[in-house]
Structure 1
């Protein structure tokens, strides 16, 4: 004979399990992540099958850039405020985010020139060149250029964000201020300057970093900071390089949809050095 107590126990377990799977009253995974909005934000304009790849690639890149900006801004504030350990963790995360962005180009490179040509007319003048988040990243890392404000003038809210990054001291600027607070001889013209100007190499700054790198145990935190900055620029260079090679592979030397020179413009960006003294000091060690 079956034990009625066991049956009742089994039915109770089943009811409990069903209750756990009922998300009509509680927040679900999709609710928390707003998946309805995210997964319904892809609206291809062409009949081309590959446009979905193009849209998802750029949307996910913008999400990673949102996180990158979140970390860069917080790390900059942490360095300025003296909480170095927090900053180091954030900067390490920035490098990993860039690795994700680098690998994403491999997916986009599966789009062949004919496939891109089938959808390109539908893009009009839209271009990654107009990404305000990317511009904020460039400005936050010190590559300032007033001309890059203009693509955002059509949106006051976006222009305000880009201008704020343009006018603020960069991650490297606050890093040099930290070196000075630690007693290293950083030239005064690098501690207070026009933050809207791109950073330029300084022999005095290289000498300060050299002091750190010649005795890393004495200046351990600053040494770690220097290497975290090196990691970021290393990853950023790879990101730029994969960008230019992917564009050349897909469109050759055609002009970009946003009016830039395309590959020629992107190759110029490869020459930008964000933290010049940290790279040059290696020759002197």
Structure 2
């Protein structure tokens, strides 16, 4: 065998993945790429499915990072938490840009496939609800859409009953000697957070002397980044839905755009925003 033939044989051996794990094996691409099952004859349904499936994958990663960040905050490991929270903000930015692709679907194109969706709706996303609950937007009514799936209900219920990221942040501030009212350290975690002037004063201590309270100041800015990105995600959702379906009711029975617009008024970490006026 000459050198040229030897090189060809070596290249063939290197490209033979029959005896080892391949790229497709590792990523389970057969299952992943086979999970798109359009129900209508509409050309654009594949876009709709891929948009929502990829969003669910990003949300899976977001929850992975959020839960880890919350554990780190609870353990006073803010350096690790900061990296995770920064990643969550980047994931939200990715989801914001994903709406640009769905916005290429016109109203007639959506109408052609809408009857095939029945009552299915993003409103029923268990992962999205867990994200909302982890960020403190607690609402018992949002458990009901998952009542038909005990496994999903248990998942969402656990997020509903657990302290939010902001709750854990306030507890950390108290451990660092900042004056957080006792009612914010142990409370019914299922209740929506209510802004408190005393909590704002605690944040102001950190923001007025960032060098002395650098970690708390940085935590406040990471939370600000995250809520900023989350607001953009919500806003882009509203405008895309209005562009595609107008003011029709959502497939899951919600008010559609009217419901989504109400969500724009929800403030997750209120004192971090109001303190800016008083700096």
Normalized against structure 1, the TM-score is what? 0.97
Tell me the distance in 1 between the aligned counterparts of 2:4 and 2:156: 61
1:177 aligned residue (171, 176, 197) = 171
Distance 2:200 2:247 in 1: 38
- 1:192-214 CA-to-partner distances (Å, cap 9, x unmatched) read 11000011101110000000000
String of CA shifts for 1:159-213, please: whole Å, max 9, x gaps: 0100010000000000001100100000100111100001110111000000000
* Offset, 1:12: 2.4
SS in 1 for 2:91: helix
Take 1:148 and 1:64, find their aligned partners in 2: how far apart are those partners? 21
State the distance in 2 between where 1:220 and 1:143 align: 27
Q: Secondary structure at the match of 1:117?
A: helix
The root-mean-square deviation of aligned C-alpha atoms, in Å, is 0.7
Partner of 2:114: 120
Match of 1:79 in 2: 73
> Post-superposition shift, 1:18?
1.0
Q: Which runs of 5+ in 2 are unaligned?
A: none
- 1:62 matched to 2:90? The reply is no
The residue aligned with 2:136 is 142
Q: Tell whether 2:197 aligns with 1:197.
A: no
What is the aligned partner in structure 2 of residue 20 from structure 1? 14
Residue 221 in structure 1 maps to residue 215 in structure 2: yes
The answer to whether structure 1 residue 103 and structure 2 residue 89 are counterparts is: no
Matched with 1:4 is: none
**Residue 72 of structure 1: SS of its match in structure 2?**
helix
Report the CA distance between 1:273 and its aligned residue. 0.2
Post-superposition shift, 1:91?
Answer: 0.1
| Secondary structure, counterpart of 2:244 in structure 1 | helix
SS at structure 2 position matched to 1:192: coil
Equivalent residue, structure 2, for 1:162? 156
Deviation at 1:82, TM superposition (A): 1.5
Residue number in structure 1 paired with 2:83:
89
Find out whether 1:208 has 2:236 as its counterpart: no
Unaligned runs of 5+ in 1: 1-6
Structure 2 CA distance, aligned partners of 1:176 and 1:16? 60
In the alignment, the residues of structure 1 paired with residue 66 and residue 230 of structure 2 have an alpha-carbon distance, to the nearest angstrom, of 13
Q: Counterparts of 2:80 and 2:183 in 1: how far apart (Å)? A: 28
Matched position secondary structure for 1:250: helix
Counting matched residue pairs gives 279
Per-residue deviation at 1:17? 1.4
Deviation (angstroms), 1:10: 2.8
Deviation at 1:16, TM superposition (A): 1.6
What's the secondary structure of 2:231's corresponding residue?
helix
Q: Distance in 1 between matches of 2:119 and 2:108?
A: 19
CA distances 1:216-270 after superposition (whole Å, capped 9, x unpaired): 0111111110000000000000000000000001000000000000000000000
